[in-house]
Amino acid sequence: MENKLQSEAKQQANMHSCKLLLNTYIRELAYKMQDDIQINATTKMFRVSFRVSDVIVNGRLSYYSAIGEHEYDTIQNLSGQTVYVQDLVRWIIRELSTEGSEGVISQEEEEEEEEEVHDDLVRDFAEKVDNSLANLTLFIQKAGAFEMHDYCTSEQSLLYGHPFHPFPKNSRGFTEQDVLRYSPELRNAFPLCYIAVRKDVYREEWVDDHHQIEWHDSVGQQLAQVVESSSELYGVLPVHPWQYKHILGIAEVQSYIRERKIVLLGSFGPLAYPTSSVRTVYVPDMNCNIKLSLHMQITNMIRTNSAEQMRRTLDASRYLDQHDCFEQDEHTHIAYETGVTTCHFADEGLTSLFTVAYRPIEFDPTCTFVVSSLVEAPLPGMPSRLMRMLGGGRVEAEQWLSRYLQLSLLPLVRAGGERGIHFEAHLQNTLVTLQEGWPVAFIVRDLEGVSVDIEHVNSAELDRSELLFYPRDKAWARTSYYFIVNHLGSLIHALARDVGVQEEHFWKMVREVLEEELKRTGNAYVQHLIEADAFMAKQNLVSCLRGISQTPNYVPVQNVMNRVLNRIGVKK
């Protein structure tokens, strides 16, 4: 039975991973490879030519997506053979590697250096896809049947991850045992490790004195037992168990331990539940999320907390609190990071290994859910968890979305247009509180991604928090991509697919809500959302292959609300 389940999981993981690669490749490259990438929305047939490899991949869609999140019945070559992930990776790499300055490799580089860089990037990319595939296979096999019923289980139900990333479940740095022990998808929980940090190298900053974290009683007891009468000389830092082992292998850390600047307290205390980001944990006994540092790759990034990231986070918390951007929207909230603590080293990179941020829970964890987990299906081919929860059809989906837009879309565009405040409000960064399945509150979190339109900022604020401020077009692009394309794009895709209508049906609802808001307020940002021909979306595949994930390229994605406009015969 186990072998059969594993075999089915492998097939499902392969199909899903091929879907990700194809959808990402199509979104990022179709605009300049129109002859090689063809999708027919009417017949639902697709054809992708990889000229360098002399291969054509074709098949039939089970659902054509206006936003590009297509679902596939078959993915095969011209001989009718099933395509596997490793083949698709090889063909994509070959295709992009010959594109010259617009592809993976810059022609300006020297020949030998180019070869070396190219080989490293290609090997790295392929290994991450393999890692993501292996993890996804494991998650489908072991976690597909898990139920989601509250905040904690929703954090641990994101099995598939980003729908436009080539390896969303990559966790390279974890061994197989680490994956089994620390992955949120497998419903893990564990006590954290703790270290005592002597006050001369301990650093802390809190948004205000009222928001300092109170440690669980066991932390103070352990500190007193280990350092005895010197407790007042130390601050305490929580550390992920994997990170605890990692930092012990660093010479500078061992030097701090010998000097008793760091005292190891060990593993103990209340259980911490890894959340959808893997390195952030939820500690119910402290009613808090803790954003830990983890020196390993989750998707394509090393997940440590740099000084700049933490500065942005705290500045954003203060700015948002001072400007109360949702004061007119009583059901829309912000999950604030209230403080940051760390152990200081001369090397900022070492300091980032210890830096953590604290995010108290101020919502009801019994009925609040991560939106990305609601949008996902528990297994490929099944309806989304949201539609399973609603237990209905198109009318219920329309009513749910209508209520949700009032709590999410409208407050966000008001904050953007009236106050110049924009969030990275993608699906994984947002929560919704439900009553009997219906949305009653919307919460935005992870404030590192906040940006503010510089035209709304006075000179005193500009001097105090310069990392937050951007030109208007860049600030507007933040909400346009993260909420409109990423968030609403995938939410509407799930609703439309599950009730058997085209996505334009629900985008028409979004447009009507925005048009009504524009009439009422004259909000310039709302007008931009309605009239824009396209929004810019991350080129995750190309950026990963070029090794520029920290500063990714972007590609235009058609504004589906304009497609709706054209279909109903209205002139702009």
Whole-Å CA distances, 96 to 51, 104, 116, 542:
11, 6, 16, 8
Q: Are residue 130 and residue 149 in the same domain, yes or no?
A: yes
Lowest mean pLDDT among 37-46, 178-187, 191-200, 207-216: 207-216
Q: Are residue 193 and residue 298 in the same domain, yes or no?
A: yes
Q: Are residue 243 and residue 352 in the same domain, yes or no?
A: yes
| Burial class of residue 430 (count of CB atoms within 10 Å of its CB; 0-12, 13-18, 19+) | buried
CB neighbourhood size of 456 (10 A): 17
Does residue 556 lie in a domain region? no
Among 531, 547, 562, residue at a domain's last position: 531
Residue range 350-376: mean pLDDT, rounded: 97
**What pLDDT sits at residue 461?**
78
**What pLDDT sits at residue 7?**
87
Whole-Å CA distances, 246 to 166, 181, 251, 294, 353:
27, 16, 11, 9, 9
Residues 6+ apart with CB under 8 A from 416: 422, 453, 475, 476, 479, 525
Does residue 544 lie in a domain region? no
Could you report the per-residue pLDDT of 193-217, keeping only the tens digit for each?
999 999 999 999 999 877 788 999 9
Domain containing 151 equals: 2-172
Long-range contacts of residues 463-470, Cβ cutoff 8 Å, at least 24 apart? 464/315, 465/315, 465/316, 465/318, 465/319, 467/308, 467/311, 467/312, 467/315, 468/312, 468/315, 468/316, 468/319
User: Is residue 159 helix, strand or coil?
Assistant: coil
With bands split at pLDDT 50, 70 and 90, how would you rate the model's confidence at 31? Answer: confident
How far is 489 from 482, CA to CA, in rounded Å? 10
pLDDT at 109 over 70: no
Of 136, 227, 130, nearest in space to 179 by CA = 136
Q: Are residue 352 and residue 278 in the same domain, yes or no?
A: yes
Residue range 557-565: mean pLDDT, rounded: 85
Could you report the per-residue pLDDT of 316-325, keeping only the tens digit for each?
999 999 998 8
Containing 113, the helix (H) or strand (E) segment is helix 111-143
Does residue 270 lie in a domain region? yes
How far is 244 from 265, CA to CA, in rounded Å? 11
**What pLDDT sits at residue 252?**
97
Among 337, 359, 381, residue at a domain's last position: 359
Of 446, 162, 444, 158, nearest in space to 291 by CA = 446
Containing 119, the helix (H) or strand (E) segment is helix 111-143
Share of the chain above pLDDT 90, in %: 82
**What pLDDT sits at residue 4?**
65
Whole-Å CA distances, 144 to 147, 196, 282, 379:
9, 40, 22, 6
With bands split at pLDDT 50, 70 and 90, how would you rate the model's confidence at 106? Answer: very low
With bands split at pLDDT 50, 70 and 90, how would you rate the model's confidence at 115? Answer: very low
pLDDT at 173 over 60: yes
**What pLDDT sits at residue 567?**
53
**What pLDDT sits at residue 179?**
97
Could you report the per-residue pLDDT of 69-81, keeping only the tens digit for each?
999 999 999 999 9
Does residue 546 lie in a domain region? no
pLDDT at 131 over 50: yes
Does residue 431 lie in a domain region? yes
Does residue 58 lie in a domain region? yes
Among 97-106, 225-234, 332-341, name the most confident range.
332-341
Strands 190-198 and 234-239: antiparallel
Q: Are residue 337 and residue 445 in the same domain, yes or no?
A: no
Residue range 263-270: mean pLDDT, rounded: 97
Task: Select the more confidently predicted residue: 461 or 236.
Answer: 236
CB neighbourhood size of 231 (10 A): 14
Domain count, the chain: 3
With bands split at pLDDT 50, 70 and 90, how would you rate the model's confidence at 100? Answer: very low
Residue range 554-571: mean pLDDT, rounded: 73
Lowest mean pLDDT among 82-86, 108-112, 435-439, 565-569: 108-112
**What pLDDT sits at residue 490?**
98
Q: Are residue 84 and residue 137 in the same domain, yes or no?
A: yes
With bands split at pLDDT 50, 70 and 90, how would you rate the model's confidence at 566? Answer: low
The identity of residue 326, as a single letter, is F
**What pLDDT sits at residue 117?**
41
Could you report the per-residue pLDDT of 432-445, keeping only the tens digit for each?
999 999 999 999 99
Q: Are residue 233 and residue 114 in the same domain, yes or no?
A: no
Q: Are 490 and 427 in contact (CB under 8 A)?
A: yes
Containing 479, the helix (H) or strand (E) segment is helix 472-479
Does residue 260 lie in a domain region? yes
CATH code for the domain of 391:
1.10.510.40
**What pLDDT sits at residue 5?**
64
Among 359, 381, 407, residue at a domain's last position: 359
SS3 letters for 264-324? EEEEEEEEEEECCCCCEEEEHHHCEEEECCEEEEECCEEECCCHHHHHHHHHHHHHHHHHC
Q: Are residue 351 and residue 454 in the same domain, yes or no?
A: no
pLDDT at 99 over 70: no
With bands split at pLDDT 50, 70 and 90, how would you rate the model's confidence at 144? Answer: confident
| Burial class of residue 433 (count of CB atoms within 10 Å of its CB; 0-12, 13-18, 19+) | buried
Q: Are residue 19 and residue 112 in the same domain, yes or no?
A: yes
Q: Are residue 197 and residue 127 in the same domain, yes or no?
A: no
Q: Are residue 162 and residue 198 in the same domain, yes or no?
A: no
Q: Are residue 268 and residue 398 in the same domain, yes or no?
A: no
pTM exceeds cut of 0.85? yes
Task: Select the more confidently predicted residue: 24 or 34.
Answer: 24
pLDDT at 570 over 50: no
Residue range 261-268: mean pLDDT, rounded: 98
pLDDT at 568 over 70: no
pLDDT at 572 over 70: no
How far is 271 from 216, CA to CA, in rounded Å? 11
Does residue 252 lie in a domain region? yes
How far is 180 from 311, CA to CA, in rounded Å? 34
Mean pLDDT of the chain: 92
